[in-house]
């Protein structure tokens, strides 16, 4: 500080006397100038010392006036770094409202009539959060209702997605899923009720997997298989070890683990077209002398066209599923329409199977129309056949509000549902963070 003051003073004096210095200076003049500078230095030093003394006195007075400080806390260790958003999960609340009208009486598994009513069929709370750099967490709670005013609470899904491991590079992009989830059997089972392209699941899904599809607990690993022969295609494999049970074809766990494998091939061609083809197999070992092994296999495909120029305004889908087993399953959990009315199943060696074909056209950004055809035999008695035709129209107000109108016509060897006509009006709404869109939505 002193040196700065001296420098400024010197520059000031030098500048003020620059005109005289420009002239010839005598030795006497130089000596006089030095004397003046020395005097100024001494004066500034005295002033600085006085200011420092005053500052010390003020500090001493403040220490005397202030209360004694409390015991100094030991320094806390630095908090571990956290992933942004780890304490603030993305939360979505999803509502599903259905109004229905039928030409015949319809009963649920408890024998209660559920036809010709309006009902909040489902409400979901969907929470997703990055746990850390290695994993994401998902928890989906649901309130479900078949009869107006009666709800049951359940954990629809709750799992952790491990994207990579800290101690090794993930070979072939391997990822893990641990918890409760929808196993990857077919294309439609992984969709929640409000994400379906139609109001009701297909007859094939209901017959072989369950009324609400197939949900289980376990471990899943997902990895890709290299396709060096074709840069426009990919091959993805998934292997899942499940708790067993909770599926229509084998509802009891029998204290045996179940195993599911899925291989999915995807290819893009001509820029605007892509196709998927997949094989799924489910095996649930039984107990010797009690229950035989349950085997279920499936093939699904999906073709998609999406033009370059019209982007989100046009698209076309054509897809289907085929499911089959190697024998009848007398202990299967049949849908309510079958379970309540199939009293004397025929003994047969026929293999149960079912197929569903689905097509959809997008007119513009908001409107979709489609058609689904279902055919299936029953698991308990494969001689009994069930069929349905379902045209539908979906209207998107926005990504948070969707309206749908369905019509369904059934033909069945189960007399209670034969020639049944049904009309469904469905409204889905979302508030909060928007979860991922289902595959059939062009966004």
What's the CA gap between 347 and 98, in Å, rounded?
38
pLDDT digits (tens, 9 = 90+) for 100-132: 999 999 999 888 999 999 999 999 999 999 998
Tell me the pLDDT band of 85, cut-offs 50, 70 and 90: low
pLDDT at 442 over 90: no
**Please, how many CA atoms are within 13 Å of residue 332, restricted to the half-sphere of its CB?**
31
- What are the Cα distances from residue 430, in Å, to 96, 146, 260, 333? 9, 21, 32, 32
Q: What is the mean pLDDT of residues 157-176?
A: 87
- Among 62-66, 134-138, 196-200, 244-248, the range scoring the smallest mean pLDDT is 62-66
pLDDT at 186 over 50: yes
Confirm whether 368 is domain-assigned. yes
**Which residues, in sequence order, are bridge partners of residue 398?**
401
Residue 228's pLDDT is 85
Confirm whether 30 is domain-assigned. no
Confirm whether 359 is domain-assigned. yes
Give the pair of three-digit tokens for residue 6. Answer: 């001296």
If one compares 440 and 185, the residue with the highest pLDDT of the two is: 185
pLDDT at 302 over 60: yes
CB 385 within 8 Å of CB 376: yes
Confirm whether 29 is domain-assigned. no
Q: Smallest Cα–Cα separation from 338: which of 416, 409, 247?
A: 416
Confirm whether 250 is domain-assigned. yes
pLDDT at 3 over 60: no
Most confident of the ranges 73-82, 168-177, 228-237: 228-237
Confirm whether 426 is domain-assigned. yes
Q: Give the count of beta carbons closer than 10 Å to the beta carbon of residue 329.
A: 25
pLDDT at 301 over 90: yes
Confirm whether 205 is domain-assigned. yes
Query: For the residues of 61-84, what is the DSSP string, one character each?
Result: HHHHHSPPPPPPPPPPPPPPP--T
Q: What's the number of domains the chain is made of?
A: 1
Residue 5's pLDDT is 43
Q: What is the mean pLDDT of residues 408-413?
A: 97
Residue 266's pLDDT is 96
pLDDT digits (tens, 9 = 90+) for 254-283: 789 999 999 999 999 888 899 999 999 999
Tell me the pLDDT band of 62, cut-offs 50, 70 and 90: low
Of the chain, the percentage scoring pLDDT greater than 90 comes to: 61
Confirm whether 77 is domain-assigned. no
Q: What is the mean pLDDT of residues 200-212?
A: 96
Element (H, E) at 378: none
Residue 115's domain comprises 99-432
Tell me the pLDDT band of 236, cut-offs 50, 70 and 90: very high
E-strand stretches of 192-249: 216-225, 233-242
**Phi, psi angles (nearest 5°) of residue 339:** -60, -35
- Among 15-19, 115-119, 247-251, the range scoring the smallest mean pLDDT is 15-19
CB 428 within 8 Å of CB 398: no
Task: Tell me the pTM.
Answer: 0.78
Residue 87's pLDDT is 64
Residue 61's pLDDT is 65
CATH number at residue 258: 2.40.160.10
pLDDT digits (tens, 9 = 90+) for 344-392: 777 888 999 999 999 999 999 999 999 999 999 999 999 999 999 999 9
């Amino acid at each position: 500080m002193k040196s700065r003051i001296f420098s400024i003073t010197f520059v000031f004096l030098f500048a003020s006397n620059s005109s005289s210095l420009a002239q010839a200076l005598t030795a006497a003049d130089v000596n006089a100038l030095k004397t003046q500078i020395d005097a100024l230095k001494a004066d500034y030093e005295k002033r600085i010392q006085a200011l420092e003394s005053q500052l010390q006195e003020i500090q001493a007075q403040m220490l005397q006036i202030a209360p004694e400080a409390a015991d100094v806390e030991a320094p806390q260790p630095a908090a571990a770094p956290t992933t942004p958003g780890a304490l603030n999960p993305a939360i979505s609340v999803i509502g599903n409202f259905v109004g229905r009208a039928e030409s015949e009486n319809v009963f649920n598994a408890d024998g209660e009539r559920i036809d010709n009513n309006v009902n909040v069929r489902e409400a979901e709370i969907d929470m997703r959060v990055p746990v850390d750099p290695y994993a994401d967490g998902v928890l989906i709670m649901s309130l479900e209702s078949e009869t107006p005013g009666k709800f049951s609470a359940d954990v629809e899904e709750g799992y952790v997605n491990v994207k990579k491991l800290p101690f090794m590079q993930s070979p072939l992009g391997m990822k893990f899923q641990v918890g409760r989830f929808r196993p990857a059997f077919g294309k439609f089972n992984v969709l929640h009720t409000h994400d379906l392209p139609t109001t009701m699941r297909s007859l094939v899904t209901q017959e072989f997997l369950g009324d609400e599809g197939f949900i289980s607990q376990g471990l899943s690993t997902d990895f890709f298989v290299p396709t060096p022969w074709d840069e426009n295609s990919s091959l993805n494999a998934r292997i899942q070890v499940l708790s067993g049970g909770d599926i229509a074809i084998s509802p009891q766990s029998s204290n045996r683990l179940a195993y599911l494998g899925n291989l999915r091939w995807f290819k893009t061609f001509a820029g605007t077209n892509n196709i998927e083809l997949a094989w799924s197999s489910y095996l649930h070992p039984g107990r010797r002398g009690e229950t035989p092994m349950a085997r279920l296999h499936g093939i699904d495909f999906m073709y998609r066209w999406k033009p370059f120029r019209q982007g989100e305004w046009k698209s076309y889908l054509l897809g289907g599923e085929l499911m089959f087993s190697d024998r009848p399953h007398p202990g299967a959990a049949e849908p309510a329409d079958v379970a309540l009315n199939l009293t004397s199943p025929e003994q047969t060696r026929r293999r149960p199977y079912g197929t569903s074909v689905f097509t959809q056209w997008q007119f513009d950004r908001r409107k979709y129309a489609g058609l689904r055809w279902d055919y299936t035999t029953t698991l308990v008695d494969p001689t009994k056949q069930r069929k349905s035709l379902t045209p539908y129209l979906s209207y998107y107000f926005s990504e948070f509000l969707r309206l749908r109108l369905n019509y369904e016509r059934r033909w069945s060897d189960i007399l209670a549902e034969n020639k049944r006509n049904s009309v469904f009006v469905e409204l889905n709404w979302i508030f909060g963070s928007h979860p991922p869109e289902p595959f059939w939505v062009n966004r």
